[in-house]
Amino acid sequence: MSRTYLGMPAFPEAAAVSTGDATLRANLRRATHTIRAKRAAAVAELDDWDQLRAAGAAVKDRTLRHLDRYLLQLEENVTRAGGTVHWAADADEANRIVTDLVRATGETEVVKVKSMATQETGLNAALEQAGIRPYETDLAELIVQLGDDLPSHILVPAIHRSRGEIRDIFRTRMADWGRPAPSGLTDRPSDLAEAARLHLREKFLRAKVAVSGANFMVAETGTLVVVESEGNGRMCLTLPETLISVVGIEKTVPTWQDLEIYLQLLPRSATAERMNPYTSMWTGTTDDDGPRSFHLVLLDNGRTDALADRTGRQVLRCIRCSACLNVCPVYERAGGHAYGSPYPGPIGAVLTPQLRGLASPLEESLPFASSLCGACYDVCPVAIDIPEILVHLRERVVQGGEVTTRGIRTVVKPAKKHLAERAMMHAAGWTLDHPRALRRAQRLAARTRRLHPRRLPGPGRAWSDTRELPPLPTEPFRDWWARTRGGTA
Amino acid sequence: MRVGLFVTCVNDTLFPRTGRSVVALLERLGVQVDFPLEQTCCGQPLYNTGYRHRAESLVLGLARAFRDHDVIVTPSGSCAAMVRDNYPRIAARAATEQRATGRAEALAEAAAAVVPKTYELTEFLVDVLGVTDVGACFPHTVTYHPTCHGLRVLGLGDRPRRLLEAVEGLELRELPGAEECCGFGGTFAVKNPAVSAAMGTDKARAVTGSAAQVLCTADNSCLMHIGGILARQGSPVRPVHIAEILASTDGKLL
């Protein structure tokens, strides 16, 4: 049974566990630092990267501003080309549509192309519940599925696994899902890839139904685009009789000329490649070639609510490249599972609370899962100002404010657990508004400096458990100034 | 040119030596510096934790404190970044809200007044005064950690390095992974203590590995975090603000 994200703990608690996992830390450090350096080199090859990045942001912004129009144009063109378009307001509706479509074919198994949208909706669990077996065919998704695990990275879902762990998962679990692992399987990457190839091939050749997502949808022709590295997607998109694609509505681009920008931005940001190995594009159905039946499920699931937020809507530009994950010092140490969603890292910290709303302590904790170092913004190929959105969402958590939920504008109250903090912040704010009060507080602290404990009690332990406190000076700067320069303090 | 020192609340309260060093350094370079006592805090801790409305009065307060100055110099990359990057944002957000009349206008006016005249110390030295050799002497091995807001928001570039390289006797040691965040992040340090400490411990390891005697940054808040970890480990490395090195003419600190 596929694992789900229900009941995940808040970020700090989950991260406190994962930061102590030395193997995980080593796996993540090695992987993220390697791809980080390669991305930087691939991006540096282009003289016009900054212009591409600006264009990538501008085209997405314009598209999102007129999304209603482009979605209708897309629907019209997909329909004209022989496809059927379905509209899903939320995850449950999308899962229901897909399940019904698979049932109508009479099949009980589907092959899957790697898809963030179906991870988001929890489609695999829904299909299993309906007696349909979904087979992940992306190598890393296969590792996650065989290991009864959850993805921990957008592009490399099994990034938290070492080669040895993958070999063990293949050895013990492949037989439960189909062709067993070859005997004497080693942890050599080429052997592991061959084992996956043999295991998956019988599924590709047997499957009558495939489920995919898409990286882009071109409105002017109704064309869907999947970019990938392994070729499993190409197999799923061409061999089965029925193809069902679940795609977030923000994946729309108006024209092929617009697509050109993203086909340059995405591979260099994601895998540090000039061009990804496989780019599949299809428009509806074609006689005697590929699937005879094509269904597009357009997924909202919180996206139009995010679109209503002037600051937060930037997240809808995201092309799921993972560059922000690979450069993030917090992700590197906390690992992907701590983010409690298929979208980990900086983008997850701003996307999940917007798609799901501040639904639980987990979503409330995500905007704080950042030191605001800004590395994510620097590498984002569509210039999403992640730190700005983090601070914006923090405000929503601690102060409350206007949000749009399922299309209705409401005012949310501040999160309860921030009551004490709010009182403290307001007291600090008052003191800082009154220089004389600040001076009195500083003097009091300086005079009692010998009485201060070196380790703090209560919430202060979060600091002093791992760090010494700076010694308090005998006098604050302003007193020194007043004493030596004759000002009146 | 009337130069006002915005020492920052952290330096005022915990690291007055940094403020005294800025005064000594600027006076040595022939700049008369003033310290308006009305000043307190730029509002960054409040704003970054989500208390934007509570930070608004501090935006107005800073503009008021420095209303008579042509230039605001501050020995903190993150406080300078708060002013330059977030003050206009705070004003713009206020303009979209139905709150007390005149508030958005006052914030916009305050932001417009302080943003163009606010300089982080190394920017002021290199860009405004046009000096890189400030006549300092500090015969020690030093490694420099470029703090995130200085590096990525202000774009300080190689200004701090150029200033340090010109210091007599100072030997600069490379810091591996220098551009990576130290994990301080203001309230992040206590809201996510495990990740913050893990980042800080990795940074401290890089500092120790550089075999420098002194760790230098242009932000005492980051230095307090890395220094706190180094001290807990019993490391002999001394955390020192760049202003204190640049103020030194005899290898000693004020």
A4 CA: distance to closest CA in chain B (Å): 24
**Residue A239 at interface with chain B, using a CB cutoff of 8 Å:** no
B218, B136 Cβ separation under 8 angstroms? no
Tokens of B92: 């713009």
Q: Has residue A169 got a pLDDT over 60?
A: yes
> Of B104, B128, B152, which residue sits at a domain end?
B128
Whether ipTM tops 0.95, in short, is yes
Task: Map tokens 């991870």 to a residue.
Answer: A119
Q: Is residue A106 classed as helix, strand or coil in its secondary structure?
A: coil
A76, A281 Cβ separation under 8 angstroms? no
Tokens of A475: 């006098």
Q: Is residue A481 classed as helix, strand or coil in its secondary structure?
A: helix
Q: Is residue A58 classed as helix, strand or coil in its secondary structure?
A: helix
Tokens of A453: 């404990």
Tell if the CB–CB gap between A19 and B195 is shorter than 8 Å: yes
B153 in the same domain as B94: no
Q: Which residue of A has its CA nearest to B33?
A: A485
Q: Each residue of B8-23: pLDDT tens digit?
A: 999 999 999 999 999 9
Tell if the CB–CB gap between A429 and B198 is shorter than 8 Å: no
Domain presence at residue B253: no
pLDDT-based confidence at A7, cuts 50/70/90?
A: confident
pLDDT of residue A87: 98
Angle, CA A221 vertex, CA A114 and CA A407 arms, to 5° = 65
| Containing structural domain, residue B80 | 3-128
Task: Find the helix packing angle between B87-95 and B52-65, rounded to 10°.
Answer: 120
A97 CA: distance to closest CA in chain B (Å): 40
List the CATH number of the domain containing B184.
Answer: 3.40.50
Q: Which of A330, A326, A312 is nearest to A12 (CA)?
A: A330
B124 in the same domain as B20: yes
**Residue A410 at interface with chain B, using a CB cutoff of 8 Å:** no
Q: Is B234 exposed, middle or buried (0-12, 13-18, 19+ CB in 10 A)?
A: exposed
pLDDT of residue A2: 72
DSSP structure string for B168-190 = BT-EEE--TTTTS--S-TTTHHH
B174 in the same domain as B115: no
* Residue of A375, A397, A477 with shortest CB distance to B11: A477
A234 CA: distance to closest CA in chain B (Å): 38
DSSP structure string for A258-302 = HHHHHHHHHHHHHTS-SS-SEEEEEES-BTTBS-SEEEEEEE-TT
Tokens of A444: 């009091």
CA A190 vs. chain centroid, Å, equals 29
Torsion of CA A403, A408, A409, A411, to 10 degrees: -70
pLDDT-based confidence at A487, cuts 50/70/90?
A: low
End-to-end Cα distance, chain B: 26
Angstrom distance (rounded) from CA A28 to CA A22: 10
Once rounded to an integer, what is the mean pLDDT over residues A41-53? Answer: 98
Q: Which of B86, B210, B81, B201 is nearest to B140 (CA)?
A: B210
Q: E strand or H helix at A245, and its extent?
A: strand A242-248
Q: Which of A438, A445, A449 is nearest to A489 (CA)?
A: A438
φ, ψ for residue A371, nearest 5 deg: -90, 5
Q: Each residue of A187-208: pLDDT tens digit?
A: 999 999 999 999 999 999 999 9
Q: Has residue A284 got a pLDDT over 90?
A: yes
Size of interface A-B (CB pairs under 8 A): 195
Q: Has residue B100 got a pLDDT over 70?
A: no
B147 in the same domain as B114: no
B119 in the same domain as B10: yes
Q: Which of A371, A347, A219 is nearest to B202 (CA)?
A: A371
Beta strand A209-212 with A242-248: parallel, antiparallel or unpaired?
A: parallel
**Residue B254 at interface with chain A, using a CB cutoff of 8 Å:** no
**Residue B147 at interface with chain A, using a CB cutoff of 8 Å:** no
Angstrom distance (rounded) from CA B31 to CA A193: 67
Largest CA distance in chain B: 58
Question: Range with the lowest mean pLDDT among A106-115, A121-130, A145-154, A414-423?
Answer: A414-423
Q: Has residue A80 got a pLDDT over 80?
A: yes
Q: Which residue of A has its CA nearest to B154?
A: A374
Chain B residues touching A473 at Cβ < 8 A: 14-17
Domain presence at residue B239: yes
Angstrom distance (rounded) from CA A135 to CA A209: 11
DSSP structure string for chain B = --EEE---HHHHHH-HHHHHHHHHHHHHTT--EE--TT----SHHHHHHT-HHHHHHHHHHHHHHTTT-SEEEES-HHHHHIIIIIHHHHHHHHHTS--STTHHHHHHHHHHHHGGGEEEHHHIIIIIS--S----B--SEEEE---HIIIIII--TTHHHHHHHTSBT-EEE--TTTTS--S-TTTHHHHSHHHHHHHHHHHHHHHHHTT-SEEEES-HHHHHHHHHHHHHTT--PEEEEHHHHHH-SSS---
* Residue of B54, B148, B184 with shortest CB distance to A426: B54
> Of B96, B128, B160, which residue sits at a domain end?
B128
Q: Each residue of B130-169: pLDDT tens digit?
A: 999 999 999 999 999 999 999 999 999 999 999 999 999 9
Q: Which of residues 157-186 of B touch A (CB under 8 A)?
A: 179-181, 183-186
**Residue B228 at interface with chain A, using a CB cutoff of 8 Å:** yes
Q: Has residue A31 got a pLDDT over 60?
A: yes
Close Cβ partners of A273 (under 8 Å, ≥ 6 residues apart): A42, A229, A267
Angstrom distance (rounded) from CA B156 to CA B151: 6
**DSSP category for residue A166:** H
Domain presence at residue B74: yes
Other Cβ atoms less than 10 A from the Cβ of A293: the count is 17
B57 in the same domain as B147: no
pLDDT of residue A289: 92
* Residue of B47, B181, B232 with shortest CB distance to A466: B232
Give strand ranges (E) for A369-463.
401-405, 408-412
B164 in the same domain as B107: no
B230 in the same domain as B178: yes
Once rounded to an integer, what is the mean pLDDT over residues A220-231? Answer: 97
Tell if the CB–CB gap between B14 and A334 is shorter than 8 Å: no
Q: Each residue of A121-164: pLDDT tens digit?
A: 999 999 999 999 999 999 999 999 999 999 999 999 999 999 99
Walk me through the domains of chain A, giving residue ranges and CATH numbers.
46-299 (3.40.50.10420), 434-485 (no CATH)
Q: Has residue A3 got a pLDDT over 80?
A: no
Domain presence at residue B62: yes
**Residue A428 at interface with chain B, using a CB cutoff of 8 Å:** yes
Chain B residues touching A460 at Cβ < 8 A: 190
Beta bridge partners of A85: A296
Beta bridge partners of A244: A211, A295
* Residue of B16, B40, B192 with shortest CB distance to A480: B16
* Residue of B23, B39, B194 with shortest CB distance to A12: B194
- Measured on CA atoms in the order A154, A160, A164, A168, is the torsion positive or negative? negative
B223 in the same domain as B120: no
Chain A residues touching B35 at Cβ < 8 A: 477-478, 481, 485, 487
Beta bridge partners of A298: A87, A247
Tokens of A219: 């409105």
Number of domains in chain B: 2
Close Cβ partners of A112 (under 8 Å, ≥ 6 residues apart): A118, A124, A134, A135, A136, A137, A138, A141, A210, A211, A212, A236
Tell if the CB–CB gap between A20 and B194 is shorter than 8 Å: yes
Angstrom distance (rounded) from CA A243 to CA A210: 5
- Measured on CA atoms in the order A148, A31, A6, A88, is the torsion positive or negative? negative
Tell if the CB–CB gap between A375 and B148 is shorter than 8 Å: yes
Close Cβ partners of A460 (under 8 Å, ≥ 6 residues apart): B190
Determine the residue among A13, A50, A371 to mutate to test chain B binding: the one whose Cβ has the most chain B Cβ atoms within 10 Å: A371
Chain A residues touching B148 at Cβ < 8 A: 371-375
**Residue A11 at interface with chain B, using a CB cutoff of 8 Å:** yes
Domain presence at residue B115: yes
pLDDT of residue A1: 58
Q: Has residue A428 got a pLDDT over 60?
A: yes
Close Cβ partners of B150 (under 8 Å, ≥ 6 residues apart): B77, B78, B80, B81, B120, B156, B160, B218, B219
Provide the b/e sequence for B155-166 (b: ≥16 CB within 10 Å). Answer: ebeebbeebbee
* Residue of B54, B194, B202 with shortest CB distance to A15: B194
B249 CA: distance to closest CA in chain A (Å): 21
**Residue B141 at interface with chain A, using a CB cutoff of 8 Å:** no
B49 CA: distance to closest CA in chain A (Å): 6
Beta bridge partners of B74: B120
B116 in the same domain as B47: yes
* Residue of B17, B50, B184 with shortest CB distance to A371: B184
Task: Map tokens 């495939």 to a residue.
Answer: A210
B90 in the same domain as B24: yes
Domain presence at residue B134: no
pLDDT of residue A488: 52
Q: Each residue of A352-380: pLDDT tens digit?
A: 999 999 989 999 999 999 999 999 999 99
Tell if the CB–CB gap between B188 and A487 is shorter than 8 Å: no
Chain B residues touching A388 at Cβ < 8 A: 89
pLDDT mean across residues, chain A: 95
Distance set, CA B229 to CA A189, A205, B134, B239 (Å): 39, 57, 31, 11
% of chain B exceeding 90 in pLDDT = 97
Q: Which residue of A has its CA nearest to B149?
A: A373
Please tell me which of A69-73, A442-446, A470-474 the model is most confident about, judged by mean pLDDT.
Answer: A69-73
B95 in the same domain as B155: no
Task: Map tokens 């209708």 to a residue.
Answer: A72
> Of B81, B103, B128, which residue sits at a domain end?
B128
A116 CA: distance to closest CA in chain B (Å): 26
